Chains A and B, each alone.
Chain A
C-alpha cells in the first residue's frame, strides 16, 4: 500500500513569514500533484511535478520533487491570508491518469 505523510499537520503563522510543507513516502511515484482545498469545496490543482529533482514555481509558491520521486516539498514565501487552506499532496502512477494516493494534508492558517 502506498502511503504519503505530510508534515506538519497544522501550521499557523503570521502574514509575511515563510513556510515549508513536506510530503514523504517510501514509495516511488511517477508524478506528484499538489492541491489546495477550501472548506466545502473540492481540491484545486496547483501543480504537477514529474521529473526527479524538478522545481516549479507558481508566484510565491515553490514546489520540488525529490530526486528519487518519493518525496516533495512546498515552500511559500511571504505568506498571505489568502494562502490559508488545506494543502494536499497526491502521488500517481502512469502520469496521473490513474488513482491518486493523497497525503494526510496540512492545514495552513495565515494570521493577518
Chain B
C-alpha cells in the first residue's frame, strides 16, 4: 500500500498526558499537511510542511502542539498536557507540491484521539 499511513489509529489517554502521532506520506510527496476533524464537522487545517520546512501554522495550533518533519519524509504531531477539547480525529495528507495542478491532497485514515 503506497497511500498515506498514520499511526496509531486510535489513542485513548488521560487528561494532562502527552501524545505523539506519526504520519508517513506518499513516497516522493514534498508537502505534508495536518488537519483536525471533530464529530460532524469538516477537517480544519493545522499546519503544513514543504520538505522539512514548516511553512504555515493555524491559530488552532496552540503552544501545546508541535509538529516536526525532520528529514522531509515522515512527520510527527505532539500534543502536550492534553485537554478534553483535544479529542478529535487528526488527519494527515500529502501532495506532490509545489505549484501547478499536480497537487491534490491525499489523506490518511487518521488517528482518533480520546481524552478521558
Contacts and interface: CB of A to CB of B under 8 A. Distances in A.
Interface stretch (A67-75, A76-84, A90-98): A90-98
Contacts of B109: 40-42
Nearest to B4: A42
A11 interface: no
User: Which 6 A-B residue pairings sit nearest by Cβ, starting from the closest?
Assistant: A102-B42, A42-B107, A97-B103, A99-B45, A97-B97, A42-B109
Contacts of B91: 42-43
A108 interface: no
Contacts of B97: 97
A44 B104 CA distance: 11
B62 interface: no
Interface in A38-75: 40-45, 48, 50
B82 interface: no
Interface string B28-57: 000101010000111111001000000010
A94 B100 CA distance: 8
Interface in B75-116: 91, 93, 95, 97-101, 103-110, 112
A102 B31 CA distance: 18
Interface of A: 4, 31, 33, 35, 40-45, 48, 50, 88, 90, 94-105
Interface residues of B, number: 31
A96 B101 contact: yes
Contacts of B6: 42
Contacts of B99: 94-95, 97
Contacts of B35: 100, 102
B110 A41 contact: yes
A4 to B, nearest CB: 8
Contacts of B56: 98-99
Contacts of B42: 4, 88, 90, 102-105
Nearest to A35: B107
A102 B100 contact: no
Given A94-B99, A97-B95, A99-B56, A45 B104 contact: yes
